[in-house]
Amino acid sequence: MIEKLRELTGSSIYDRSISEADGVTYFLARRGAEKLVGFVGKGAVNADKVGELDGEPVCVGPTNHENALAIRKALGWTGPKVVGLSTSAGLGDRMGLATPGHVRAIRGSGVVPFFAQQSIREMTRTGRSPEEVMDCATWGVLQEGWHDGFGSDADHLQQIEDIDRTVAAGFTMFTIDPGLHVNNDADELDLSALKAKYAELDFRLLEMSAEQLMSNYLKEFDLSGGSKVAFDEPAFLRAAVKYGNAIAHTVKMFRHLKEVSIDEFELEVSVDETESPTSTAEHYFFSAELKRLGVEWISMAPRFIGRFEKGVDYIGDTDAFAASFAEHVAVMRTLGPYKMSIHSGSDKFSIYPIVTEIAEGLVHLKTAGTSYLEALRAIAAIDPALFRAILDFARDRYETDKATYHVSAELAKVPAASELQDSELAGLLDQFDARQVLHVTFGSVLTDNSGETFGNKILAALRAQEEAHYDAIQRHLARHIAPLAS
């Protein structure tokens, strides 16, 4: 069949993509740099007939949004699902080409992947839409014949309209980010200032009086495993002032999501992008209040101790992290269970075994930028001149683009392209400072409009040498997945 399809379509056929549903055979093909979806029989996609096979029409059409919708309907496994408490990993794809590499990295691990994952912030910076993110995952899943299911994460949603856009695109998990409503000054306020800030909270939104809320917490609570968490007045006020408004915003977002969602969905709550760590008491307060107010969630990302900087390993004392993480897990087991979500999780190799063992698999790992970096590693081999231009452009953009990221790279430690031999370029992707400079400038690189864009050049190079790209992705992401599967 494959040989006949090649002849009829004038295309190469992705062998793993050949699938049958309701008597129709579907497949993905490649003609030059263009990918096409096809079928044998009376298929659902919009396509033109190119011949016949055993008396059945053979048709091929574009891999566009209309056909992605049709494929998801015809082949249910090419669309996302809710994942529940299974160990999982988000594998963000900022350019829409990485999913086949992600499939290869996770195949056989037992870890459930989230192939469609992108934040509104990232979509804005790359000029992508929620529909495009979803469609690219669908085509990658079809190409690799991944039948084992995957999740989709509308990441770091802060506004009601973000929910509406991503619900319409078919996402199944929604990560609510109430970080703008967190009071980061709470850790530094004295008791008098905390009392004043507490009085300013909108208790109408919290659906309880100030007096009753405080009364509920001025005590000691038993945690799973025999530990305890206690609230005196300062500890309670600090938790309430820091997270009270964030809780109210999360409740509003969740209730809106329930109103507009047609299908089953799951929720993640994230406060990882705040300035100070989330204490055990603060985690307990946040979760207990969400539970009281009827919010249902599948995973939570507190702000852990140490530094979770972009594109590099965990920075901090891993023993101290393990002890603190165990306290967070005790809260999770008491008020859940739900998964502990590790944000900015790319390349945190020193803590993957820790979180997997302590949480006993109730973990969701979130990665994104590391796949972009591995695409650049492939570019360094495929087109050294292009990589050099990107490197110098990223060096120029770093001081501006780093503003919204937790990074500590020193630009002076990143060599200019002229200082490097071609054989040294890929090695930059293993160097701390260079990784961060290249990581946080992705938006500027992919949307640069000075002449022919870097984004177009990168996409063209990766499409021309897609196996080199997939190999780089697979090698690197497999290192993330293996500890979760153990």
Per residue in 437-446, pLDDT tens? 999 999 999 9
- Does residue 276 share a domain with residue 172? yes
Band (pLDDT 50/70/90 cuts) for residue 334 is very high
Residues 6+ apart with CB under 8 A from 306: 314, 315, 316, 317, 320, 321
C-alpha to C-alpha distance for 82 and 72, rounded to whole angstroms: 15
**pLDDT of the residue at 449:** 64
Report whether pLDDT(450) > 80: no
Among residues 144, 268, 273, 448, which one is catalytic?
Answer: 268
Per residue in 157-179, pLDDT tens? 999 999 999 999 999 999 999 99
- Does residue 298 share a domain with residue 440? no
Q: Is the residue at 189 inside a domain?
A: no
**pLDDT of the residue at 303:** 97
Q: Do residues 89 and 111 lie in contact, with contact meaning Cβ atoms separated by under 8 Å? A: yes
Among 47, 74, 101, which residue terminates a domain? 74
- Does residue 421 share a domain with residue 347? no
**pLDDT of the residue at 99:** 98
* Mean pLDDT (whole number) for 251-259: 98
- Does residue 41 share a domain with residue 170? no
Tally of CB atoms within 10 A around 376: 26
Per residue in 85-141, pLDDT tens? 999 999 999 999 999 999 999 999 999 999 999 999 999 988 999 999 999 999 999
**pLDDT of the residue at 231:** 98
**pLDDT of the residue at 406:** 86
Long-range contacts of 415-423 (CB under 8 A, 24+ apart): 416/391, 416/392, 417/387, 417/388, 417/389, 417/391, 417/392, 420/388, 422/384
Structural domain span for residue 31: 2-74
Among 74, 92, 119, which residue terminates a domain? 74
**pLDDT of the residue at 262:** 86
274 against 117, higher pLDDT = 117
Number of domains in the chain: 3
Among residues 135, 144, 153, 155, which one is catalytic?
Answer: 155
Report whether pLDDT(335) > 90: yes
The domain that contains 329 carries what CATH number?
3.20.20.70
Per residue in 336-376, pLDDT tens? 999 999 999 999 999 999 999 999 999 999 999 999 999 99
The torsion defined by the Cα of 379, 380, 385 and 391, in degrees rounded to 10, comes to: 100
- Does residue 161 share a domain with residue 125? yes
Q: Is the residue at 147 inside a domain?
A: yes
For the question of residue 155 being annotated catalytic, the response is yes
For the question of residue 268 being annotated catalytic, the response is yes
The mean predicted confidence, pLDDT, of the chain is 96
